[in-house]
């Protein structure tokens, strides 16, 4: 959550909040409103520039496809749109958001997200089904059964959350405990 202040958000995006409050009579009024943003460029809406998921969804949306037709002949702002410019825009936008919406503590939130991602990556690299298959030749449903048994074992014997156990201990200790939990000699 960056902000709950609608006026501040719309100002940041370059929209006239009062115009929004008046409402719109037609879909074309909404399209014209979209074009007023200082960040508007038709390139970001083009089907070929969307992710696969968005592309698949948006081609089925009549109003989206009508919007693409509507903007075809509109005067274009000269905003470069390629991978490098997108990276620059995202970086600059991050700094503008951080400075405009200081109440969101964006640096802290992003560090929390990054920490969570790195923590998850570490856990998966230390203990995963592929390692179990290679080390113990466990396959199919037996992997899930042995992992569940191990998780219960960790919580009962060590009285610690499974993820914390994996983070805390080295590989030899983790797999030794796995062997104990699953009676593997």
| pLDDT digit string, tens, across residues 35-68 | 998 878 888 888 998 999 999 999 999 999 999 9
Q: Of how many residues is the chain composed?
A: 185
- Whether 97 and 134 map to the same domain: the answer is no
DSSP code for 155: I
pLDDT at 19 over 80: yes
Domain boundary among 75, 104, 133: 104
pLDDT for position 53: 93
Q: Average pLDDT over the chain, rounded to whole?
A: 90
- 23 and 53 inside one domain: yes
24 with 61, same domain?
yes
Distance from chain centroid for Cα 47: 20
Do 27 and 90 share a domain, yes or no?
Answer: yes
pLDDT of residue 80: 60
pLDDT at 116: 97
Domain span holding position 170: 125-181
**What per-residue confidence (pLDDT) applies to 121?**
97
Higher pLDDT, 56 or 96: 56
pLDDT of residue 135: 93
Is 129 found in the same domain as 56? no
pLDDT at 82: 63
CA nearest to 49, candidates 13, 92, 14, 86: 86
* CA–CA separation, 43 and 77 (whole Å): 10
Print burial letters for 39-74: b (CB count within 10 Å at least 16), e (below 16): ebbbbeeeeeebeeeeeeebeeeeeeeebeebbeee
């Amino acid at each position: 959550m960056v902000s709950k202040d609608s006026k501040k958000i719309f100002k940041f995006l370059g929209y006239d909040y009062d115009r929004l409050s008046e409402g719109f009579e037609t879909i074309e009024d909404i399209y014209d409103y979209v074009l007023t943003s200082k960040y508007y460029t038709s390139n970001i809406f083009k089907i070929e520039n969307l992710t696969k998921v968005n592309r698949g969804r948006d081609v089925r949306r009549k109003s989206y496809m009508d919007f693409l037709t509507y903007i075809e002949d509109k005067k274009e702002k000269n905003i470069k749109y390629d991978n490098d410019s997108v990276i620059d825009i995202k970086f600059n936008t991050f700094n503008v958001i951080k400075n405009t919406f200081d109440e969101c503590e964006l640096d802290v939130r992003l560090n929390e997200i990054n920490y969570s991602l790195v923590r998850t990556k570490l856990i998966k690299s230390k203990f995963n089904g592929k390692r179990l298959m290679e080390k113990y030749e466990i396959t199919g449903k037996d992997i899930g059964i042995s992992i569940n048994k191990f998780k219960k074992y960790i919580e009962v014997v060590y009285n610690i959350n499974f993820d914390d156990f994996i983070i805390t201990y080295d590989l030899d200790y983790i797999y030794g405990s796995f062997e104990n939990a699953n009676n593997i000699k």
